[in-house]
């Protein structure tokens, strides 16, 4: 029997998730949680084989949850289950310790196959994403995004996350607005995002600030 838990802030997802496994004899949903602390408390006295994890959480980042679970229950397989794009976040989360990445649009069949695969010590990676996972990518080592950022880029990033506008960043750092835009472009390239919304999400999930 494969024991599975879900961490997702949306109760409607809990209902749909349970329905996925209603007629599945070899997979049992042993808990669904909206808050990470409730999951942590449950796992202090219960073991699971797989955790299905939404990226957008309240109060905790996905990476924080992955690290906690892996420190307490290293054999637990973790699958990210989200509507956010795999092309932006997939590699980073795999490096953090996740074993798979699923869109919330997947069918029941795909969900079952993914769980079976990761519990069997495999990875679930979609075919159109597999080319990004090359032989020289060590998934056992989390990416430290700070390593690629200059001190000035980090300053700009902090101000952006605080909600400062270009003109405010320009005044604060005594640089012109064109230079601010240049730094923003560099940050999005280095952190592998395509727009400011994804930049903020990347920073939040990976505790870069």
Domain holding 153: CATH number? 1.10.10.10
Per-residue pLDDT of the chain (209 residues; tens, 9 = 90+): 999 999 999 999 999 999 989 889 999 999 999 999 999 999 999 999 999 999 888 888 888 899 899 999 999 999 999 887 665 566 667 777 888 888 888 888 989 999 999 998 777 765 444 444 444 444 444 445 556 778 788 888 888 878 888 999 999 999 999 999 999 988 888 877 777 777 777 676 655 55
Q: Are 121 and 158 members of one domain?
A: no
For residue 207, give every residue at least 6 positions away whose Cβ sits within 8 Å of its Cβ, in sequence order, or none: 61, 63, 64
- Reading the block at residue 178, the tokens are 């064109």
Instruction: Give the range of the structural domain holding residue 192, as residue numbers without chain letter.
Output: 145-206
Q: Round the CA-based radius of gyration of the chain to a whole number and report it.
A: 19
Q: Are 77 and 179 members of one domain?
A: no
- Reading the block at residue 107, the tokens are 């069918």
Q: Are 81 and 149 members of one domain?
A: no
Per-residue pLDDT at 44: 95
Per-residue pLDDT at 84: 74
Contact 50, 119 (CB under 8 A): yes
153-160: Cβ within 8 A, 24+ apart: 153/183, 153/186, 153/187, 153/190, 156/180, 156/183, 156/184, 156/187, 157/187, 157/203, 157/208, 157/209, 158/209, 160/184, 160/187, 160/196, 160/199, 160/200
Per-residue pLDDT at 133: 45
Number of H-type helices and E-type strands within the chain: 9, 5
The count of structural domains within the chain is: 2
Only one residue has tokens 């919304």, namely 197
């Amino acid at each position: 029997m494969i024991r599975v838990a879900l961490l997702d802030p949306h109760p409607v997802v809990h209902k749909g998730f349970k329905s996925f496994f209603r007629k599945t004899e070899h997979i049992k949903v042993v808990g669904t949680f909206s808050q990470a602390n409730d999951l942590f408390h449950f796992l202090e006295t219960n073991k699971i084989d797989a955790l299905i994890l939404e990226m957008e959480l309240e109060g905790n980042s996905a990476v924080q949850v992955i690290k906690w679970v892996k420190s307490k229950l290293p054999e637990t397989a973790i699958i990210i289950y989200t509507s956010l794009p795999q092309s932006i976040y997939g590699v980073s989360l795999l490096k953090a310790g996740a074993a798979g990445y699923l869109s919330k649009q997947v069918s029941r069949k795909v969900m079952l196959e993914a769980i079976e695969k990761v519990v069997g010590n495999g990875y679930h990676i979609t075919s159109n994403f597999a080319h990004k996972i090359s032989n020289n990518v060590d998934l056992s080592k989390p990416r430290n995004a700070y390593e690629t950022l200059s001190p000035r880029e980090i300053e700009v990033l902090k101000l952006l996350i605080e909600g400062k506008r270009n003109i405010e960043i320009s005044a604060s750092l005594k640089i012109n607005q064109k230079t601010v835009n240049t730094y923003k472009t560099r940050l999005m390239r280095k952190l592998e995002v395509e727009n400011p919304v994804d930049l903020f999400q990347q920073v939040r999930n990976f505790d870069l600030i």
